[in-house]
Amino acid sequence: MSSSTAGHRIVIVGGGAGGLELATRLGRSLGKRGRAQVTLVDASLTHIWKPLLHEVAAGTLDSGEDALDYLSQAQRHHFRYQYGRMIGLDRERKAVRLAPFKDTEGREVVPERDLEYDTLVIAVGSVSNHFGTPGAAEHCLYLDDSAQAERFQQMLVKSFLRAQVQETAIDDSQLSVAIVGGGATGVELAAELRNAARKAVGYGLDRIDPETDLRLTVIEAADRVLPALSPGLSIKTRKQLDELGVKVMTGSKVTEVNEKGMLLESGDFIPAHMRVWSAGVKGPDWLSELGDLETNRSNQLVINEYLQTTADNDIYAIGDCASLVLPGHDAPLPPRAQTASQQASYLNKALGKRLRGQQPDAFTYKDYGSLISLSEDHAVGRLMGGLFGSLMLEGMLARGAYNMLYRKHLAAVHGLFRMLVLITLHGLFKRTRPRLKLH
């Protein structure tokens, strides 16, 4: 890489947990000093931190109020923003292909175009993997982005409103939600939905019994919820789900989905008005067709310990769309916000070094533990490292630690002072805003 760097173009595609933190950090470190031109491309105009999507889906978080505007973030942090969806890559010309943008009437607003780069970082996240289960694509809702979470929220509100005014009794299946996948997303969504139903009653939707009319089922193929985490955490989470009246079916594989519910391998049928797929993640399909970049079976870009794709040193990948097996390990790093964030932090320093003609150190990963939110004031989790070694947390304390994860993200994208102002304002406005989005 040349040491004359002022015109060096760094393009980051995907402004999520990893990409937005990276663009902001690079803007502050290289963009501000004119040492590189940093451009962030995202298929959306606003950013919502993905771990909050179950709250958007339940209506306990209003994405309209909590979203971050990419254009103003770019202006404040010395990077550029381009609205666009990446659809291809020309490695010879070092250019990313962006899809045309059309308005709601189908008229082209921005044509298909190329964006040239010297260094490219792909951070486009993941999508749910339904492993080709018949009917899952057509009949399930997903929590892959805020638009999908909002769609779920709209369906939920309409179901509540219908139940409130109907002349007949509320039947067993009309407010039933079946969630495939007992991982963090599935269990957090189930708990948040119970929380939302309780709040809905407080807003006058009092024909609904929030404990019994909203029937919540989590279906998990493994023999316990949170199979990727420690058995102790699974037991505590399961107990909490039982207390919330969530039916948990472990060791149950969904073989087919239709508009009425889920068929299990055992032959049982789980009727469900709303069906959510939250089992497994994979990279978007188009990643596996990106030139000759190496991908794994889950469409993730295979990267080395410097986060470079194996076929091209000038193309990096971070977060859920990347697969990194560190030396001495046999499994790739987990697709989690802390992985994406640590990789963004590393790459900020590594790209600065590379521009100065120095060789960066290899990336190292630190597991800080896992926290699972189970309601507004309850979470369970295990914190690792620091003074604690390994510490199991539960209740308000765990919830406080869970809230810190989001605050850390806010601090990375806004700076510490602004994060504290935002949190304070959020606390103040919480008293005046509705606690459930009902439109």
Ligand X SMILES: Cc1cc2nc3c(=O)[nH]c(=O)nc-3n(C[C@H](O)[C@H](O)[C@H](O)COP(=O)(O)OP(=O)(O)OC[C@H]3O[C@@H](n4cnc5c(N)ncnc54)[C@H](O)[C@@H]3O)c2cc1C
Positions in the binding site for ligand X (CB under 6 A): 13-19, 41-44, 47, 50-51, 53-54, 85-86, 123-125, 143, 145, 184-185, 188, 284, 319-321, 335-338, 340
- Shortest CB 114 distance to ligand X, Å: 14
Q: Compare residues 5 and 323 and give the one whose CB is closer to ligand X.
A: 323
- Which residues are CB-neighbours of 4 under 8 A, at least 6 positions away? none
- Shortest CB 340 distance to ligand X, Å: 4
Rounded Cα gap, residues 393 and 368, in angstroms:
13
- Of 244, 189, 150, 222, nearest to 373 by C-alpha is 189
Rounded Cα gap, residues 142 and 278, in angstroms:
7
Q: What is the DSSP string of 250-308?
A: -S--EEEEETTEEEETTS-EEE-SEEEE-S-EE--GGGGGSTT--B-TTSPEEB-TTSE
Q: Compare residues 14 and 163 and give the one whose CB is closer to ligand X.
A: 14
- Shortest CB 126 distance to ligand X, Å: 6
Q: Compare residues 66 and 188 and give the one whose CB is closer to ligand X.
A: 188
- Burial of residue 18 (number of CB atoms within 10 Å: 0-12, 13-18, 19+): buried
Q: Compare residues 36 and 184 and give the one whose CB is closer to ligand X.
A: 184
- The sheet with strand 378-385 has its strands ordered as 369-375, 378-385, 389-395
- Shortest CB 46 distance to ligand X, Å: 9
- Shortest CB 6 distance to ligand X, Å: 26
Q: Compare residues 145 and 312 and give the one whose CB is closer to ligand X.
A: 145
Q: Compare residues 31 and 319 and give the one whose CB is closer to ligand X.
A: 319
- Which residues are CB-neighbours of 237 under 8 A, at least 6 positions away? 187, 225, 226, 372, 374, 380
Phi-psi region of 251 (alpha: psi -120 to 50; beta: other; left: phi over 0): left
- Shortest CB 99 distance to ligand X, Å: 8
